[in-house]
Amino acid sequence: MPQNTPHAYLSGDIVECMACSDNVVRGGLTPKYKDVEVLCEMLVYKGGLPPTIVPEVVGEHTWLYRHSELHEFQVTKLLLAAGTSRRFCFSGAGPSLGFVFSGNGILKISDQTTKLAAGVVFLLSAGVDSDFVADDDLTTLLCCLLSSALLQRLHPTSAAHEFQRVRVNFDALVPTAWL
């Protein structure tokens, strides 16, 4: 979704991962301050379908959600069937923030083990190989910085270090487990 685009989610499941920002403009349905004048100034009056990001298959049961115009981060979805496991390194450029959408399992890093269940949030260090083991069907989503190789491919004139200062947040998630 491009910046300065009003949006709302009316049904279904959604994961919204956004770059750091202090410029949220509310339009209603909240008791918080609503700046109607600024909202009306920033609106773009054009119809059409909402922008979408088509996931790219990057491995067995692994999808990457990224867009060439989004420089800050990418989102990876990992879906494991019960009884299966997968080793994955999400980003060498910076930390990865993830959460379990559904299912149960275990996250192993070296000799440390963390139980995974729906709603558990976890933070992975840059470049760490993570072993995910699914007890039931397990769906996890992780947000991380673009890898420097991918950055160079998408933006050859941009220095990768410019993007490593970006902080990421998943709105409305309560951390229950941190690594």
Active site positions, annotated:
26
DSSP 128: -
Q: With beta carbons less than 8 A apart as the criterion, state whether 89 and 130 touch.
A: yes
d(CA 98, CA 125): 11
Task: Look at phi and psi of residue 69 and say left if phi exceeds 0, alpha if psi is from -120 to 50, else beta.
Answer: alpha
Rg of the Cα atoms in the chain? 18
Angle at 52 between CA 154 and CA 68, to 5 degrees: 5
Single-letter code of the amino acid located at 150: L
HSE of 114 in the Cβ direction (CA atoms, 13 Å)?
Answer: 21
Q: Where are the beta strands (DSSP E) in 61-111?
A: 62-65, 74-80, 85-88, 96-102, 104-109
Residues forming a β-bridge with 19: 168
